[in-house]
Amino acid sequence: MAFSVVMPALEMAQETGKLIAWRKQEGDRVTKGEPLLEIETDKAVLELEAPADGILAGIKASAGADIPVGQTIAWILAPGEKPPAEDAAQGTPVARASSATKIEHPLTAAQGIADTALRSPARISPKARRLAQELGVDITTVRGSGSDGEILAADVQAAAAAPTPGSTAASKQSKIEVPSSIGRLMAERTTQSWTTVPHFFVSREVEANALNAYREEVVAEIERTYGVRITHTDLLVALVARVLLKHPRLNASWSAEVIRLHDHVNVAIAIAVDDGVVAAVIPNAHRANLAEIATQRRDVAERARAGKLRPTDVSDATFTISNLGMYQVDAFSAIITPPQAAILAVGAIIDRVVAIESKPAVRPVMTLTLSTDHRVADGARAALFLNDLADAIRQPGNLLS
């Protein structure tokens, strides 16, 4: 039986992916689950695994090609089998839906966003069209390097970096840096989120002495048993996931003027890499214990920094945590990752003077700031979530033991 290798769709807005390199060659034997090729999507550089055992054949794309999501780029066949003559699903995006979500209609519909896409008789990929609009590139002056002269994102980037006629000596001496795919993604996503999602922010200071003490209690045992170190981020992932079960509007998504309430909690962790930030996912974090969370966090962080993320590492997040405490940041506000409803920004744990029974005392304190999509949840819901999370941090053993 022939198995198709397709460009994966990791989110609704993704239209294309770039083939970086094949790990196997035409005619090679492959095993299900082993790395087959590297791709660059709107999320990150990922490793795509072989979907089945067999012989790699019928390769349709080479390194550097921009490929529509859902398009077949190769086949995995049984020995002696030939690739199908036609690809019935060629060019058809992969539709993904989950039966584990509840759809809830809000009281008011969102305003429509005007389509400001550039138009030109030249053939141009959707990604290149968006990029040209953002960089202010006149696509009528761009020479396409794709098949049949199609303008690709790389062509737009090159045009943006090229000096313009009549530029002054001072401008010629300035340095122009074209962002990487991850850097460009961050610019696109944060701009889209900030301009289309109605953010509001709720902050809360929480004493962290019980969290610190709990971490010290469990670290030695887990390190000895599982060989993995427990961080404050691991503890927060576990606590946040369990608290979210009581607050479904914060573990939700805004999509096509409806609210999807998820019955699973997939927590994304913002991870700094060389050229930006990626959000790697801990799936079903509400059911995972600390050792499982720490192991998954360590593994995805290593893959992220090595540029070896897999599609499952970055898909289907329902909530995000961004922790800058290790950089000695007191507090900050994070931008929501659509279609998620919220993101939690975590500051450093710092000794501060607080009032204990009307007397000053020094306690370790952390500041939590919740950014929320006002179309999905209001201030009261956000405040109640932070209240329950603060209680969980003050008594972590109640949820984790």
Cα–Cα distance, 265 to 286 (Å, whole number): 6
Contact status, residue 385 vs residue 343, Cβ threshold 8 Å? no
Is 105 catalytic? The answer is no
Helix H or strand E segment including 103: strand 101-104
Which string of b and e fits 220-237 if b means at least 16 CB within 10 Å? eebeeeeebebbbbbbbb
Report which residue type is found at 303. R
What is the spatial distance between Cα 160 and Cα 156, in angstroms, rounded to a whole number?
6
391 is catalytic: no
Residues in contact with 11: Cβ distance below 8 Å, sequence separation at least 6, in sequence order: 42, 43, 315
Of 355, 347, 297, the C-alpha closest to 325 is: 347
Q: How far are the Cα atoms of 41, 47, 49 from residue 8, in angstroms, in the given order? A: 9, 11, 11
Strands 16-22 vs 3-6: parallel, antiparallel or unpaired: unpaired
List the catalytic residue out of 53, 374, 388, 391.
374
Cβ atoms < 10 Å from Cβ of 26 = 11
| DSSP 3-state of 37 | strand
List Cβ neighbours of 119 (8 Å cut-off, separation of 6 or more). none
Q: What is the dihedral of CA 217, 219, 221, 227, to 10 degrees?
A: 180
CA distances from 19 to 7, 250, 301 (A): 9, 35, 22
Are residues 354 and 364 in contact, defined by beta-carbon separation less than 8 angstroms?
A: no
- Residues marked as catalytic: 374, 378
